[in-house]
């Protein structure tokens, strides 16, 4: 009986000294890796990038000759055409269909790479910096062509309508970041 008590004590000590993250990793060997997704304009494929190593692997082709692009993940449910409702976490993109010469809002399946066209933009946008705004459902884009070069605009995912918000004044802006809550730093 004494031996058994010592073994339990040793196990308890090991558990107390082992960080929780290490224990969880040993329990779940298939822990999801930290990744980001991107679009490769040259190959028309969605790629997965490991944020710890920088290694990129191909997820799969988008399904059409997709050119310039931008990707953003919805933080709330997003309404779509014909009453569709895309759930939080849906990956959206703004892809150019090179064979048609038009821009489309697409939903990207990050497990296969397939991009499904949701709605055609009412105009050529040229820019590819896209992000969801403060409400989590409005898709913003930086335009980089024509009269609205430098403009921050919104794209209505239901209709494809592109509406200017205003001129940023910066001609080389090509990316956006989703709205982040900034807390003041106290020193």
Q: Is 18 helix (H, G, I), strand (E, B) or coil?
A: coil
Helix/strand/coil percent split, the chain, to 5: 15, 35, 45
Residue 66: C-alpha distances to residues 104, 120, 148 (Å): 10, 13, 23
- E strands along the chain, which residues? 35-40, 45-50, 56-61, 66-73, 78-79, 85-86, 91-97, 102-108, 115-120, 129-132, 139-142, 151-155, 162-167
Structure tokens at 49: 């990038």
- Domain-wise residue ranges, the chain: 1-29, 62-167
pLDDT in tens, 53-108: 999 999 999 888 777 777 888 888 999 998 889 999 899 988 888 888 888 999 99
Q: Which residue has the higher pLDDT, 23 or 55?
A: 55
Please indicate, yes or no, whether the overall pTM of this predicted structure exceeds 0.75.
no
CA atoms within 13 A on the CB side of 135: 8
What residues form DSSP beta bridges with 105?
Answer: 94, 119
Per the CB < 8 A criterion, the answer to whether 75 and 131 are in contact is no
pLDDT in tens, 10-19: 333 333 333 4
Helices (H), the chain: 2-17, 20-27
């Amino acid at each position: 009986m004494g031996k058994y008590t010592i073994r339990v004590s040793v196990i308890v000590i090991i558990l107390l000294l082992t960080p929780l993250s290490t224990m969880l990793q040993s329990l779940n060997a298939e822990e999801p890796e930290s990744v980001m997704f991107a679009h490769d304009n040259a190959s028309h494929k969605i790629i997965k990038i490991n944020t710890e190593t920088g290694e990129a692997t191909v997820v799969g082709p988008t399904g059409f000759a997709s050119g310039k692009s931008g990707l953003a993940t919805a933080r709330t449910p997003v309404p779509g055409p014909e009453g569709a409702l895309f759930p939080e976490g849906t990956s959206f993109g703004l892809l150019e269909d090179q064979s048609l010469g038009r821009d489309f809002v697409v939903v990207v399946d990050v497990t296969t790479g397939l991009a499904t066209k949701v709605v055609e933009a009412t105009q050529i946008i040229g820019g590819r910096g896209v992000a969801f705004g403060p409400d989590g459902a409005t898709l913003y884009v930086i335009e980089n062509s024509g009269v609205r070069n430098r403009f921050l605009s919104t794209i209505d995912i239901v209709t494809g309508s592109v509406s200017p918000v205003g001129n940023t004044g910066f001609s080389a802006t090509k990316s956006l970041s989703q709205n982040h809550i900034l807390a003041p730093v106290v020193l």
